[in-house]
Amino acid sequence: MRYLPITGADRSDMLRAIGAPSVEALFSDVPEDALLAEPVDLPRHASEFEVERRLSRLAGRNRAAGAGPFFCGAGSYRHHIPASVDYLIQRGEFLTSYTPYQPEIAQGTLQYLFEFQTQVCLLTGMEVANASMYDGATAAAEAVTMANRVTRRSKAVVSGNLHPHYRDTAATLARFQGFQLEAAPPMPAGGEDLASRIDGETSCVVVQYPDLFGNVRDLSELAEAAHAKGALLVVVVTEVVALGALRPPGEMGADIVAAEGQSIGNAMSFGGPHLGLFAARTRHMRQMPGRLCGETVDAEGRRGYVLTLATREQHIRRERATSNICTNSGLCSLAFTIHLTLLGETGLRRLAALNHAGAVALADRLGERVVTPHFFNEFTVRLDGGAAEAVERLAGEGILAGVPVSRLHPGAGLDDLLLVAVTETADTDDLDALAEALS
């Protein structure tokens, strides 16, 4: 077996050194009837070529986004990823390293995490960021529990225009942790009044920017309303490229930003792995979940980096930790930071502008059917006759037209709404094809 280097001769020698008659004898502490005498009922080992052949066949039964016009978004976005990103993250020193517990031989990981944390702060307009979470939804759920700790309250108010997967992830934690989650109904055209839902018991208000339906709105007044009642404002961003064009949440009074970072540097990959971005205010730093990388010096006074503030974490605090999270999304955060470094100030702004211009161009073609007045690269379209049906029909014509709202809000009476995302990967022909197919 190509991955297993111990030979039969090695095995005999080693067993002799151990003083064991056989490998099986090393399992003598396992209850005898639980020890399988034969391999389980699964196929035997296979050559690299054979595995590749079979998996390629499975992959071939999926329709890749690059095969035609593509407009799906709703929390996972198709953006171009520069070739050097994928090359660099596959360097073995990154790919096959562990969480940097031994900082002297993990300065590569630690330095990029320090740079990553800084980039996340700059994008979100926040003061401090962690080394990433599993995904945007778990980051948002952790933001709520952090707000509960900070305010010592236990009721979160959630926008009806928050991605339902994010809402449900937080609601699942709420169910088991015993805090309240008050979710407003969806309002596809925006104009939601969340301020009136905040009271003296509210720990935080969770609002998405741009929201599920694509709406963008100034959150400053909502922040003021939350702060006036002693609550925090949690801003969720599912399309982080938007922050290259839009005012950052930190400038509008956000206390915590929980974002999905996939759209910079990472493939959609059927929804995972993605990476959660988590940023907050310095005064709440010690209540943050997740890994944090900090600057320090070594014994010779040279600048270096370590994981720090571990006294918040499970491996030190055990049952008193701020979160049970252990790992982050290391390699995804590396892809993110490399892509963002390549983009730089100008590249990100241009990328964001291209996305917005494409979306505006499509909205202009679709005219009055567009429900969303102000948006970044995604908006909602009303399709009489049902969005899911239209999506199925267009898929048959080779166009992946977007995400029907009914997929995320089944039974909510929103079956005629379609979420359409336009990134830089859609060209004018794609926009024309979709507009024509929907007309």
Partner 1 sequence: MTGNSHDTVSGDLGLSIEEPLIFEQDSPGALGVDWPEADAGPDRLGGLARSGPIGLPSLAEPTVVRHYTRLSQKNYGIDTGLFPLGSCTMKHNPRLNERMARLPGFADIHPLQPESTVQGALALCREVQRWLSVLTGMPGVALTPGAGAHGELCGMMAIRAALDAGGAANADRRRVLVPDSAHGTNPATAAALGFEVVSIPEDERGRVDPGRFEALAGEGGVAAVMLTNPNTCGVFENDIRRIADAVHAAGGYFYCDGANFNAIVGRVRPGDLGVDAMHINLHKTFSTPHGGGGPGSGPVVFSEALVPYAPVPRIVEEDGVLHLEEANGRAFGRMKAFHGQMGMFVRALAYMMSHGADGLRQVSGDAVLNANYLLRRLEDVYSAPFAHSGPAMHEALFDDRALRDTGVSTLDIAKAMIDEGLHPMTVYFPLVVHGAMLVEPTETETRASLDRFIAIMRGLAERAHNGAPLTEAPFHAPRRRLDETQAARKPVLRWRPAGE
Residues numbered 46 to 75 that lie near partner 1 (CB under 8 A) are 46, 48, 50-52, 54-66, 70, 72, 74-75
Tell me how many residues contact partner 1 (CB under 8 A): 207
**Residue 439 in the binding site for partner 1 (CB under 8 A):** no
Residues numbered 283 to 322 that lie near partner 1 (CB under 8 A) are 285, 291-300, 302, 304-306, 308-311, 313-321
**Residue 385 in the binding site for partner 1 (CB under 8 A):** no
* Least Cβ distance, residue 130 to partner 1 (angstroms): 8
Are 377 and 241 in contact by the 8 Å Cβ rule? The answer is yes
- Residue 350 burial class via C-beta count within 10 angstroms: exposed 0-12, middle 13-18, buried 19 and up: middle
Going by C-alpha positions, the residue among 191, 246, 188, 163 that lies closest to residue 369 is 188
Determine the distance from the C-alpha atom of residue 17 to the mean position of all C-alpha atoms in its chain, rounded to a whole number. Answer: 49
**Residue 152 in the binding site for partner 1 (CB under 8 A):** no
**Residue 225 in the binding site for partner 1 (CB under 8 A):** no
Residues numbered 101 to 140 that lie near partner 1 (CB under 8 A) are 101-109, 111-112, 114-115, 117-119, 121-123, 128-129, 131-132, 134-138
> What is the C-alpha to C-alpha distance for residues 116 and 76, in angstroms, rounded to an integer?
20
Are 126 and 119 in contact by the 8 Å Cβ rule? The answer is no
* Least Cβ distance, residue 225 to partner 1 (angstroms): 18
Tokens of 394: 């267009």
Among 35, 189, 193, 228, binds partner 1 (CB under 8 A): 35
**Residue 378 in the binding site for partner 1 (CB under 8 A):** no
Q: What mask, x for binding partner 1 by CB under 8 A, covers residues 330 to 349?
A: xxx-x---x-xxxxxxxxxx
If the CB atoms of residues 82 and 230 are measured against partner 1, the closer one turns out to be 82
**Residue 155 in the binding site for partner 1 (CB under 8 A):** no
Among 206, 226, 231, 354, binds partner 1 (CB under 8 A): 354
> What is the C-alpha to C-alpha distance for residues 348 and 70, in angstroms, rounded to an integer?
21
* Least Cβ distance, residue 197 to partner 1 (angstroms): 22
> Longest C-alpha distance within the chain, in Å?
81
* Least Cβ distance, residue 402 to partner 1 (angstroms): 9
> What is the C-alpha to C-alpha distance for residues 252 and 310, in angstroms, rounded to an integer?
30
* Least Cβ distance, residue 222 to partner 1 (angstroms): 14
Q: What mask, x for binding partner 1 by CB under 8 A, covers residues 235 to 264?
A: --------xxxxxx-----------x----
* Least Cβ distance, residue 102 to partner 1 (angstroms): 6
Query: Which one of 92-100, 149-157, 195-203, 222-230 is the stretch in contact with partner 1 (CB under 8 A)?
Result: 92-100
Residues numbered 180 to 209 that lie near partner 1 (CB under 8 A) are none
**Residue 172 in the binding site for partner 1 (CB under 8 A):** yes
Q: Measured between alpha carbons, how far is residue 265 from residues 57, 69, 140, 249, 339 in Å?
A: 26, 21, 21, 22, 5
Among 185, 270, 368, 384, binds partner 1 (CB under 8 A): 270
* Least Cβ distance, residue 217 to partner 1 (angstroms): 7
> What is the C-alpha to C-alpha distance for residues 229 and 201, in angstroms, rounded to an integer?
8
Going by C-alpha positions, the residue among 355, 191, 73, 237 that lies closest to residue 363 is 355
* Least Cβ distance, residue 23 to partner 1 (angstroms): 4
If the CB atoms of residues 199 and 427 are measured against partner 1, the closer one turns out to be 427
If the CB atoms of residues 313 and 430 are measured against partner 1, the closer one turns out to be 313
**Residue 100 in the binding site for partner 1 (CB under 8 A):** yes
Are 236 and 259 in contact by the 8 Å Cβ rule? The answer is yes
Tokens of 339: 């892509």
For β-strands 256-260 and 417-421, DSSP reports them as unpaired
Are 231 and 150 in contact by the 8 Å Cβ rule? The answer is no
Query: b/e map of 205-239 (b: 16 or more CB within 10 Å)?
Result: bbbbbbbbbbbbbebeebbebbeebebbbbbbbbb
